[in-house]
């Protein structure tokens, strides 16, 4: 929260402006810092000096408070003159680590802040608010040319809404950019000169169960340390048995070891792995049943670790996750005062503020955050602000960001992690979102429209009206959270945003580019800003990987597709660091597809009525967790897609948008699959079919029981039907109960290839 305070000073003095520098004249003001200044206070003086010179051409001298008070001074931090000039105490204790006070005391200016970050943040506030300096990205800042830099009368105190502020976007990791926008999160490259950061130590940053008690080390000799699922301890995709006393000893000991090696860190995470499979042994189940939440065992366990840590390190906090199955707060067990629960919003709708959406998961999340905030004063939130499948696809969530920050502040959250496109720049409005989040994590009440107007004007220049029109239209589509939620793993083909909008949007970006053709800096921003529209248009257009047609026409990529692919590749090369998706394989596969489109391989116009689809052309969800492409000497080409027994949904698909086929004709699809059975178990080996999402209709859904499966690869007919472009083939491992793969009748299935045949 930002707090404003105006002291009682004589009216005549309040009316005086302070002209800090005038172009072409000698320096009138001197920067004064404490002789025992911290690294960040020294940096604050240097930043004030450098940007003043950049704005006015005047270089202000820097001295320490060992010297006599200059006639006109800008005092930074608690100098020996500060209290005298303020006419009262200059204690920064109430300002905390990051807060500051800016006060004009003619002829002097006081920027009072603590030695950690407050003084530095106060300098940046003066530069931004009164100098017009704005730092949007590492490559685009606005530092105005001023004939004179004048400060109006001011007496303002600011403290941040959140103690930890992490705008987790690729460019905001830069230490200078983060500090200038008052971010202090763990991932940012903030050094001593920036005042450091609120840091996780010892390599313990979320999902640490397997780090602290690895199943590779302990499972063979002590399976009881890990999750019991349906009476069986499991090694793969496991969690810890949180009621086992030996597990508590191991984890506590290893946490303490890491703190001793990294005692300067504030936070160390003791948290669940990034999957389900919580322990259901008698002891764990008893606590969870009593607490009506699986957070019961988690908080009970973490509290015991934190109690031991406090005895040796009273200022260290132990973080844990309220995530997936632990989101619901426990009924009676409360986190200790040195435990930090971090609530995660991953399942929610992000089209509007979390507490304003009627989506079911949002309503649940609202209840959960209120429950956690009632039992702790150290609640953190992990929020999600991008589409992780398609970083560079349109994701219209900007108008929800401020409301979310206010909602977190009003529910007493003290640390916010806003996970964006962290692996590369130029995701959908990435620069705007990262900057806005930094502003609102400091002060959620800053009005939105002035910030938006400022960013569009400064970042896009003369192109701003065209980009703003696109922005406004894009954000108008998600108007029904129940029927049309904006989720963080949406497909680019989601019909909520229609194709005709992207055609209009392309024209707007072309107009935008023309408007800034003579401004290289703005032209670059426009070229990169247009990438999401280009990506969506190309992603929705036919780009055939598979050919199965009896028609003699040449099914080739249209000229427009080839041009889009070439243009996207050129812009990626120009930028140098863009990531399409959180999945590296998806990123690389997409780039390879663009390269093939940009330089298509000539082929004959003779139709083929049969096609083989190798496993490498299939799409796989959650690669590495649900399955992976593996070498398999039993497969005809030595490669297969292996699906683990950890998830039985439709893991693998072949979208028919990637298949060239003759409309209105009948086709048959079959697959070559082998099954690794679980010895001694009977059940479903796999299920497969073709799905029509438009009509919510399936074709040829089959399932095979392990009793009917022979060893080695076999061909299985799946469906015979008339395909359309939005249909897709799917396959998943055999279904089992919700307790996890321990109840599956198989160890894995392997897909060698599919065959597509036109039958009429």
Top CATH class, 610-758 = mainly beta
**Residue ranges of the chain assigned to CATH 3.30.379.10:** 2-159
The residue among 555, 559, 654 whose CA lies nearest residue 607 is 555
For 650, the token pair is: 């439709």
Q: Which helix (H) or strand (E) holds 260?
A: helix 245-261
pLDDT tens profile 713-747: 999 999 999 999 999 999 999 988 755 556 789 99
For 316, the token pair is: 């260290």
For 730, the token pair is: 């799917």
The whole-angstrom separation of Cα 671 and Cα 215 is: 35
CA count, 13 A, side-chain hemisphere, 129:
15
pLDDT tens profile 5-26: 333 344 444 458 999 999 999 9
Architecture of the structural domain at 2-159: 2-Layer Sandwich (3.30)
The residue among 162, 176, 182 whose CA lies nearest residue 121 is 182
Strand 30-33 and strand 73-76: the pairing is parallel
The residue among 535, 541, 539 whose CA lies nearest residue 558 is 541
3-state SS of 283-305 is HHHHHHHHHCCCHHHHHHHHHHH
Q: For residue 69, what is the DSSP state?
A: P
* Residues 6+ away with beta carbon under 8 Å from 35: 64, 65, 66
The whole-angstrom separation of Cα 271 and Cα 213 is: 11
3-state SS of 590-656 is HHHHHHHHHCCCCCCCCCCCEEEEEHHHCEECCECCCEEEEECCCCCCCEEEEEECCCCCCCEEEEH
49: left (phi over 0), alpha (psi -120 to 50) or beta: alpha
Residue 621: predicted pLDDT: 81
Residue 647: predicted pLDDT: 84
Residue 259: predicted pLDDT: 98
Q: For residue 666, what is the DSSP state?
A: -
pLDDT < 50 positions in the chain = 1-14
pLDDT tens profile 544-555: 778 898 887 666
Round the CA-based radius of gyration of the chain to a whole number and report it: 30
Residue 551: predicted pLDDT: 82
Q: Which helix (H) or strand (E) holds 259?
A: helix 245-261
Residue 6: predicted pLDDT: 32
Residue 736: predicted pLDDT: 84
**Residue ranges of the chain assigned to CATH 2.60.120.260:** 610-758
Strand 134-135 and strand 141-142: the pairing is antiparallel
| Sheet with 619-620, side-by-side order of all strands | 619-620, 652-655, 728-733, 684-692, 697-705
Q: For residue 749, what is the DSSP state?
A: E
The whole-angstrom separation of Cα 487 and Cα 500 is: 22
């Amino acid at each position: 929260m930002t707090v404003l305070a105006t002291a009682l000073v004589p009216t005549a003095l309040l009316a005086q402006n302070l002209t800090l520098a005038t172009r072409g004249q000698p320096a009138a003001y001197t920067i004064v810092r404490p002789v025992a200044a911290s690294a960040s206070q020294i940096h604050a003086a240097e930043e004030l000096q450098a940007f003043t010179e950049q704005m006015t051409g005047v270089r202000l001298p820097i001295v320490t408070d060992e010297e006599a008070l200059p006639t006109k001074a800008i005092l930074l931090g608690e100098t020996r003159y500060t209290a005298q000039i303020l006419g009262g105490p200059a204690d920064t204790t109430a300002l905390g680590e990051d807060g500051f006070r800016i006060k004009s005391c003619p002829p002097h200016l006081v920027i009072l802040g603590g030695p950690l970050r407050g003084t530095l943040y106060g300098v940046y506030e003066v530069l931004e608010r009164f100098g017009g300096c704005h730092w949007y990205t590492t490559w685009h800042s606005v530092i105005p040319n001023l004939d004179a830099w004048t400060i109006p009368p001011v007496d303002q105190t600011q403290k941040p809404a959140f103690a930890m502020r992490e705008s987790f976007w690729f460019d905001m990791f830069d230490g200078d950019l983060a500090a200038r926008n008052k971010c202090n999160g763990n991932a940012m490259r903030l050094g001593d000169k920036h005042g450091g950061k609120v840091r996780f130590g010892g390599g313990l940053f979320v999902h640490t169960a397997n780090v602290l008690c690895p199943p590779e080390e302990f499972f063979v000799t002590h399976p009881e340390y890990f999750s019991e699922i349906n009476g069986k301890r499991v090694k793969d995709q496991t969690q810890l048995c949180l009621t086992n006393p030996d597990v508590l000893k191991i984890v506590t000991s290893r946490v303490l070891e890491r703190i001793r090696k990294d005692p300067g860190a504030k936070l160390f995470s003791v948290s669940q792995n990034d999957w389900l499979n919580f322990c259901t042994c008698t002891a764990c189940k008893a606590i969870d049943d009593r607490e009506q939440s699986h957070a019961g065992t988690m908080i009970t366990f973490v509290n015991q670790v934190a109690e031991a840590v406090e005895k040796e390190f009273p200022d260290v906090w132990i973080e844990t996750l309220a995530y997936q199955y632990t989101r619901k707060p426990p009924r009676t067990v409360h986190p200790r005062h040195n435990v930090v629960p971090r609530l995660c919003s991953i399942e929610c709708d992000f089209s509007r503020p979390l507490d304003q959406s009627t989506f079911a998961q949002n309503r649940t999340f609202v209840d959960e955050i209120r429950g956690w905030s009632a039992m702790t004063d150290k609640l953190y939130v992990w929020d999600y602000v991008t589409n992780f499948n398609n970083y560079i696809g349109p994701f219209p969530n900007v108008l929800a960001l401020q409301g979310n920050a206010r909602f977190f502040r009003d529910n007493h959250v003290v640390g916010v992690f806003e996970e964006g496109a962290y692996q590369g720049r130029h995701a959908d409005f990435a620069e705007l979102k990262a900057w806005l989040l930094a502003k609102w994590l400091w002060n959620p009440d800053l009005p939105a429209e002035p910030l938006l107007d400022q960013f569009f004007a400064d970042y896009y220049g003369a192109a701003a009206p065209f980009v703003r029109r696109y922005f406004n239209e894009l954000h108008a589509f998600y108007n029904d959270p129940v029927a049309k939620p904006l989720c963080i793993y949406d497909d680019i083909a989601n019909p909520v945003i229609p194709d005709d909008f992207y055609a209009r949007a392309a024209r707007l970006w072309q107009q935008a580019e023309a408007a800034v053709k003579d401004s290289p800096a703005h032209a670059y921003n426009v070229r990169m800003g247009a990438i999401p529209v280009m990506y969506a248009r190309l992603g929705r257009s036919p780009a055939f990987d598979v050919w199965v047609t009896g028609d003699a026409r040449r099914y080739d990529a249209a000229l427009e597709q080839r041009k889009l692919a070439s243009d996207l590749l050129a812009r990626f090369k120009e930028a140098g660091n863009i990531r399409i998706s959180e999945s590296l394989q998806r990123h690389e596969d997409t780039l390879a597809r663009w390269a093939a489109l940009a330089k298509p391989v000539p082929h004959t116009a003779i139709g083929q009525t049969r096609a083989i689809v190798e496993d490498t052309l299939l799409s796989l969800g959650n690669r590495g967790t649900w399955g992976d492409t593996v070498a398999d000497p039993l497969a005809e080409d030595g490669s297969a897609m292996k699906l683990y027994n950890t998830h039985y949904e439709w893991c693998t698909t072949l979208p028919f948008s990637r298949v060239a086929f003759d409309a209105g004709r009948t086709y048959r699809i079959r697959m070559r699959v082998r099954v690794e059975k679980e010895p001694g178990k009977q059940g479903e080996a796999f299920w497969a079919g073709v799905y029509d999402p438009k009509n919510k209709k399936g074709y040829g859904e089959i399932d095979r029981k392990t009793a009917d499966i022979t060893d080695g690869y076999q061909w299985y007919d799946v469906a015979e039907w008339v395909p359309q472009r939005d249909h897709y083939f799917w396959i998943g491992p055999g279904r089992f109960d919700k307790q996890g793969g321990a109840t599956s009748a198989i160890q894995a299935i392997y897909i060698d290839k599919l065959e597509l045949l036109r039958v009429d």
